[in-house]
Amino acid sequence: MYVTPEQIAAANKSSVEAVLGIAQSNFAAIEKISALNFNATKTAFEDGLAHAKALMSVKDAQEFVNVNAAAAQPAMEKMIAWQRSLYEVASQSQAEMTRYFETQAQEANKSVATYLDKFAKNAPAGSDVAVAAVKSAIAAANSAYDSFTKAAKQATEIAEANIAAVTAATTNAKKKAA
């Protein structure tokens, strides 16, 4: 039941590779968000310049109102698109993190079960009750974790559905108002 240096090295290598994978995933998400924000800022600046130029050529109050109304709809649509894109990047990043932690939890459970089985084989007589109790506790913890994970996924799905409904309602209301 001794841990060999090779086992420690393999576990360390696996952990380092997993952390590097998460770091790369996070940097990719940051890169996407940065590009998204840069493009949104650039577009907003260009739209602002165009709007300012249009306002400078206004001759009366009605034309002023029309120019402002014409600029508001596309600006709102672009903001909604930006928010949707930002949410998609965040959702993808969260999904990758969730997969990572689920994988780590599964590997930890396998390791604990393996060591527990090795311990049970080499344990003194009469310790099988204690081993069974530990196995039962681990099974209960895994069951609780699975329930929590399912509840979190359901909550995420509900939130996504609500965001989609609000976005659709906002877009439809703007179309009706125009």
**Is residue 41's pLDDT more than 60?**
yes
pLDDT for the residue 62 = 93
pLDDT classification of 59: cutoffs 50, 70, 90: very high
- Per residue in 115-133, pLDDT tens? 777 777 777 777 777 777 8
Query: DSSP labels for 72-120?
Result: HHHHHHHHHHHHHHHHHHHHHHHHHHHHHHHHHHHHHHHHHHHHHHHHH
18, 104 Cβ separation under 8 angstroms: yes
pLDDT tens digits, residue range 91-115? 888 888 888 888 887 887 787 777 7
Whether the predicted pLDDT of 32 surpasses 90? yes
Q: What is the pLDDT of residue 2?
A: 63
DSSP string spanning 36-62? Answer: HHHHHHHHHHHHHHHHHHHHHT--SHH
CB proximity list for 58: less than 8 A, separation 6 or greater:
64, 67
Mean pLDDT on 125-153: 80
Residues 6+ apart with CB under 8 A from 115: 1
Contact call for residues 53 and 106 (beta carbons, < 8 A): no
Distance in angstroms (rounded) separating the CA atoms of residues 135 and 113? 8
8-35 average pLDDT score: 88
pLDDT at 51 over 90: yes
Q: What is the pLDDT of residue 3?
A: 64
Residue 123 phi/psi, 5-degree rounding, is: -75, 155
d(CA 150, CA 143): 11
